[in-house]
Amino acid sequence: MQYYQRVKADTSYFKIISDVKMRFLFQVAVFSMEESYFNNGRMTYSNFFRDVNGTRKASRQTRAANNNYQAYADGKQVASYPGTIEYNVAHLYCQEPVNIRSVYSDAFQQFLVIEKVENHKYKIRLPDGNYNHYSYLNGICYQIDVHQSLYDLQIVMN
């Protein structure tokens, strides 16, 4: 997993790349990329895609349009959201969600509730029934515990 963050003046760019290979009964390779752009603390665009064994399984974009957002999946508009997106999943890696109640998921194209589990540890329940725990040290995420129906895994940041 790779995480990039670039901040210049009033703009921010985030990028998360995940390249996972697993073996159950057969080899499964999952490559995903998520990127988002912010201007003056407001998300202006996000892009997410996931390939499984070389085949595109998800392609999603969210675009700011006036005072709302348009969400697209596989090139078709699927939702519209009023307001401003100021905190998305990419922020979870570099900023502890103190006093933040929800996070926009570019992958699921919806807001997810942030539940404080204990000091510096938060739980995000995903719409597919899975969940992740995010643990922080000095405001930066150092560990993510991923709980999926078929497996659990732990991501430890260097």
Residue 150 has pLDDT above 80, yes or no: no
Write out pLDDT tens, residues 80-132.
Answer: 999 899 999 999 999 999 999 999 999 999 999 999 999 999 999 999 999 99
Q: Letter for the amino acid at 52?
A: V
- Average pLDDT, stretch 32-43? 96
Provide the pLDDT confidence category of residue 34 given band limits of 50, 70 and 90.
Answer: very high
Domains: count for the chain: 1
How many CA atoms within 13 Å lie on the side-chain side of 11? Answer: 7
Across the range 71-77, mean pLDDT stands at: 94
Q: Which domain holds residue 66?
A: 2-156
SS in 3 state form for 117-146? EECCEEEEECCCCCEEEEEEECCEEEEEEE
Determine the Cα–Cα distance for residues 60 and 116; give it in Å rounded to an integer: 28
Distance from C-alpha of 122 to C-alpha of 115, rounded to nearest angstrom:
5
CA distances from 37 to 64, 66, 75, 97, 138 (A): 10, 16, 19, 19, 24
The conformation of residue 156, written as its DSSP 8-state character, comes to E
- Cα–Cα distance for residue pair 17/111, rounded to 1 Å: 21
